[in-house]
Structure formats: C-alpha cells, structure tokens
Amino acid sequence: MVPFLSSADDISKLELLARCYRDITNMPLVPYSPEAKQVKAGTLDPINFCIQKLHSANFDITGTINPSTDVTKQNILKHFNRIHETWFSVRDFSHLNGNEIQGSYSFHESGVGALYMTKSLFTPSMPFSDTLKGTQSLQSKRAKGESQTSPFNFKPNTDFKLGNNTNNTPWTAVKLVDTGPLIGVVPSRSVTATTLIGTSTATVQRTNINMLESWGGGLIGTMEYLLLNMQEPVNYAINGADKVPRKWARYLYQDLLCRELPVIRQSDAKPFVRQNSSISFRQSKSCTHCHASMDRTAGVLRNYKGTATSNINASPKVRRPALYIVNKPAEDWPDEPSTTYYRSPPSGWLYFRNLHGELIHEKVSNIEELGSAISNQIDFYACAAKRYYKYFTGIDVNLTDIYDPGNPITLNSTEKYHRDFIIDLSYKFKSHKNQAQLIESILRSPAYKKKDYLLRSLASDLPEVQSYE
C-alpha cells in the first residue's frame, strides 16, 4: 500500500526552483547556478525568478522577442507555443486532396490557433479574450524569414499557379510561410489572388481575394482554422440538414471550452426532435442530443464554399474558403434539407450547459458575435486554466456538467478540491484576462509546492478553497 502524504510534504525551495525553471524553460536548472545559491541563501524567491524568466520572452512592439537571437527566449517561446498547439484538435491539412496538401502546408499556418494563445501570453497588453475577437489574422515570425521554396515539397513559389488548365498563370506574388526558429507572432502578410477556380461572380466574391483575411472572431474565423476544421470538399453546398459544417462547430466546443459532445442534457434536445423528418438524426432525442448544439452553432458558416487557386495537378494548390452571396430569406435550423439555406443570412446558436449546469442559449449573427459569446463564458477561461494546470501538475480536472440528472458524476474529495480550485482561479482569470498572471497563480498554488501535487493527500490535509457550487 502506498502511504498518504501529509500536507507537510512540501518540496524544498531549491526543488521548487528546479521544478518551475524546468516547466517554464523546458531546460534543466544548471547545478550550483547563481540563482540556486540565492534561493538557498533566502535572498531569491524561486517563483519570482521563474515568472521573470517567463516575462523575459515578452514581445516588443514588433511582436518579436528581443533580442531575437537569444536562445533561451527562443526556447521559452517555442515551448509554450507547443503547449498551446496541444489545445487544438486538428493541427494538419492531411484531410485535403493531392497537391492541395502541399500548397496549403506551404502557404497556411497549420498552428494558427496556438499563435493567438502565444501572442496573448507574451503580449501584456493583449487580454486573453482578444484571441476570439477581430479580423486580424496572425502568422509566425521565424529566424530564417520568408521561404522562397515550399517547405513541404521544395518547389519554388513561382510553381504556384492561378486559374485552370487553360489559364495557368504563374502566381509570382505568392508569399510562403516563414521557416526557422520561432521568434515572434505578427500580423499575417497580405497576399491577393486575382481569381479563384470553381466560382462565379453571380454566387461568390472571386476577384482580388485576400487569401489570408479573417472572417472575424479572432482565431476561429481565420482561413487556417476554417480549413483545418471544416474538412468539407470543394463545391459543398450547405443545406442545414445532412450537409452542415458540424466538424468545425464540434471542434469549437472541444478546443475552446474543453467539452466533448454532447454538451447539453437530453432534455435540452427534446424541443428539436422531429419524428416525421426525413433526416434520421432529427427523429430521436439521442442523436439530436449532439446535433442540436453543433449543427445550430455551425449556422454562422452556412455561406461557406470551398475553393482553390488552381486545378492544375502539377501545381501546388492553395485551398481558400469563399462566401456565397446572400440573397435568400432568413432561415433557422431546417427540419428538412433546404436548397436556399446556404444563401440565407448567417445566424447560429451557442448552445451548451456550462460547468455549473446552467443552460447557455445565445443567438449570434456571424463568427465575430460567436467569438464574443464564447469569450464571455466562464468555461472559456476555465478551459485554459485546466490545461495549464494539467501541464504544470499533471492533474486533469473535470469541468463537465457533473449535475446532469441523466449522467451524474460524483467526485471524491481530492477531485472536488482541484475542480473548486480551477473554478475559483477561472473567475479571477476572467477578471484580469492575463495568462502570465494565471500561470503565476498555478505556480504559487498549494498543489504545485507538494511532492505529490496533492494527488494522494488525505481529505483533512487539503487546503480550503472557495467553492462556487
């Protein structure tokens, strides 16, 4: 039997220094370093030192670390960007076809979601909520600068073409992604395409297209996040029934709220059941349990159309979403496939039970409003706190609706303590919206200073924590 550790089992200050230095820099502390000697002498607080290390990688006004050649700062930046990459469900373009994979890897940032989180962490003036606001797209800034050949297949950028087989105009203005060590996060480069294939001026905007524009909502409306998560073919006409960009919506709940479908209770799905519908998943509560959230959220993308810059097989192609022109009356979630849904004004619903079991049912008219609605939820901040907490302590906190009568979850005293701690931390995070301050709170938490991170402690040894439930 493994004995329980008591609340007195704190690690030493030197051990705390080694722990936090490793967790912040992804490098071991050098033995007998000046910092170790100061901590041992009682003249340096180990957490203060580690937070200073984190702040040392803050961006200057150009969005880069300073100096950009500092290897330790590069390592901290790369380390946290990789942590943020794990927050996102889809991180590659492997679902695309043929040369679209080659072209899109070379042109688009597959880790775009992480870049928003990283920029907010290392830009003190950027609140965490801004990761889901605005139309500014972001890209990585790397030490080697803009690539002149495709990092994926080493073809020169002049091999990228515009148009079809009868109009294979070289796309000489194409600018590929940067290569080399990450040194910053900056606004996306401006790249204009003169035309897109498979489009008509009567249905979509097709000329002088900004290939890297955002449709709003911060990271969720970027071309990259759409391409990564839509996973629908070119010429996909959304009808509100069997054809819906539901994968994008499903990943929103996973990526930003740490929630797997279903995110509502079965009783919340009942109003949307249509037993006489020809759509099988609308006929039962068990199926609508998931579809009532993801399909209705995806309504903000009903005008989406997949396009590309070329249909020449020998040319690296770049996927780029387009929008159908709206010229039909407004529609809500249709009971049957609708031939006009994809041309109706965009609207959708954020529909889920939050971590307190409260039903969130908020209508939005575009991706920007959806991003704002998500950023107003406590679950958005709790999700980030949960993920940092898991990285720093190894503890995965349950933030689901544990009060669902159809699926109640009973937590033991240790699980409840960590859940209460993260919820309390999340309300503070929602107030100050500063990721570095959130990380400091975790480093100063009772769990982080324990040998076992309070995983095996007796209930009587657990510290008191504010409970919101």
Per-residue pLDDT, 319: 79
Per-residue pLDDT, 101: 80
Per-residue pLDDT band for 237 (boundaries 50, 70, 90) equals confident
Asked whether the CA dihedral 320, 326, 327, 333 is positive or negative, the reply is: positive
Q: Say whether pLDDT at 252 is over 90.
A: yes
Average pLDDT over residues 203-228: 84
Per-residue pLDDT, 206: 53
Q: Say whether pLDDT at 2 is over 50.
A: no
| Euclidean distance between CA atoms 28 and 197, whole angstroms | 52
Q: Say whether pLDDT at 205 is over 60.
A: no
Q: Say whether pLDDT at 7 is over 50.
A: no
How many Cβ atoms from other residues are within 10 Å of residue 3's Cβ?
6
Which single residue is written with the structure tokens 């008509």?
Answer: 200
Average pLDDT over residues 155-159: 78
HSE-CB for 21 with a 13 A CA cutoff: 19
Task: Give me the percent of the chain exceeding a pLDDT of 70.
Answer: 91
415 and 423 in contact (C-beta within 8 Å)? no
Per-residue pLDDT, 158: 78
Average pLDDT over residues 253-272: 97
- CA 62 to chain CA centroid, Å, is 23
Per-residue pLDDT band for 5 (boundaries 50, 70, 90) equals very low
139 and 189 in contact (C-beta within 8 Å)? yes
User: Which range (70-84, 277-291, 356-370, 443-457) has the least confidence?
Assistant: 443-457
Q: Say whether pLDDT at 200 is over 70.
A: no
Average pLDDT over residues 403-416: 94
Tokens of 226: 């759409």
3-state secondary structure string across the chain: CCCCCCCCCECCHHHHHHHHHHHHHCCCCCCCCHHHHHHHHCCCCHHHHHHHHHHCCCCCCCCECCCCCCHHHHHHHHHHHHHHHCCCCCCCCCCCCCHHHHHHHHHCCCCHHHHHHHHHHCCCCCCHHHHHCCCCCEEEEECCEECCECCCCCCEHHHCEEECCCCCEECCCCCCCEECCEEEEEECCCCEECCCCCCCCCCECCCCEECCCECCCHHHHEHHHHHHHHCCCCCCCCCCCCCCCHHHHHHHHHHHHCCCCCCCCHHHHHHHCCCCCCCHHHCCHHHHHHHHHHHHHHHHHCCEEEEECECCCCCCCCEEEEEECCCCCCCCCCCCCCCCHHHCCCCEEEEEECCCCCEEEEEECCHHHHHHHHHCCHHHHHHHHHHHHHHHHCCCCCCCCCCCCCCCCCCCHHHHHHHHHHHHHHHHHHHHCCHHHHHHHHHCCCHHHECCCCCCCCHHHCCCCCCCC
Per-residue pLDDT band for 204 (boundaries 50, 70, 90) equals low
Question: What pTM, to 2 d.p., does this model score?
Answer: 0.94
Per-residue pLDDT band for 198 (boundaries 50, 70, 90) equals low
Strands 209-210, 138-142: pairing kind:
unpaired
Q: Say whether pLDDT at 3 is over 90.
A: no
Mean pLDDT score of the chain: 90
Tell me which of 324 and 355 has the higher pLDDT.
355
Task: Give me the percent of the chain exceeding a pLDDT of 90.
Answer: 70
Tokens of 387: 């993920």
Tell me which of 317 and 83 has the higher pLDDT.
83
Per-residue pLDDT, 424: 97
Per-residue pLDDT, 422: 97
Q: Say whether pLDDT at 346 is over 90.
A: yes
Per-residue pLDDT, 234: 73
Q: Say whether pLDDT at 6 is over 50.
A: no
